[in-house]
Amino acid sequence: MLESLLVPTAIVALAEIGDKTQLLALILAARFRKPWPIIAGIIAATLANHAAAGAVGAWVSSFFSETVLHWILAASFTATALWTLVPDKMDDDENSAARRFGPFVTTLIAFFLAEIGDKTQVATVMLAAQYPHLIMVILGTTLGMLIANVPVVLAGNFAAEKLPLTLIRRLAAAAFFVLAIVAVYSAMKTSGWV
């Protein structure tokens, strides 16, 4: 059960470095200068978004045999590894109404929307399909988001400018490739090839 928490935490924390939601956290911190409502908004948005993604992952896993699911996971982890290597850019229109709603509501809405279709949401779907403890996966992916974003909110520009984003993206991609290899091995093992 602990693996269902720790692996998603590590994967999402690494994948989130340099992601558009991390850039969003930086912009919100600079704009509002109120870290605690922003952090609360990140928690609420991530829990809601990743709960939905986790439910989809658990649901999808019920339609496939264990072998097919491992092959799908291997392909998905490989695609996510490649996607992780591409730096995200912040969309300007995500913050257009920020001042009107205040830091908590703005963060809640912006983070929820920014996570739709994002690599960390896709990772949550894949991890929920792979691990049997859905709640632990959701808590792990949310914790991973917080590990990556809270320092940015608290430290502002200093933290974002000092992190070796290229190296961290490469490490995250390597982690996804390792998960892809493990999924391929598991697929081969369940199909009797190993």
pTM confidence score: 0.71
- Which segment, 71-80, 115-124, 145-154, is predicted with the most confidence on average? 145-154
**Structure tokens given for 94:** 């995500």
The residue to which tokens 């809405």 are assigned = 109
Contact between 43 and 177 (Cβ < 8 Å):
no
Q: CA dist 132 to 4, 40, 127, 160, 187, Å?
A: 7, 28, 9, 35, 17
Average of pLDDT values for 158-173? Answer: 65
Minimal CA–CA distance to 116: which of 20, 11, 18?
A: 20
* pLDDT tens per residue, range 119-147: 888 889 888 988 889 999 999 999 999 99
> Within a 13 Å sphere around the CA of 70, how many CA atoms are in the beta-carbon half?
14
For residues 44 and 52, give the distance between their C-alpha atoms in angstroms, rounded to a whole number.
13
Give the number of residues written for the chain. 194
Domain boundaries, the chain: 2-190
Q: Where are the beta strands (DSSP E) in 84-132?
A: none
For residues 116 and 112, give the distance between their C-alpha atoms in angstroms, rounded to a whole number.
7
* pLDDT tens per residue, range 81-123: 787 677 655 544 444 555 677 899 999 998 888 888 788 888 8
For residue 40, the model assigns a pLDDT of 96
Please classify residue 36 by burial: count the beta carbons closer than 10 Å to its beta carbon, then call 0-12 exposed, 13-18 middle and 19+ buried: exposed
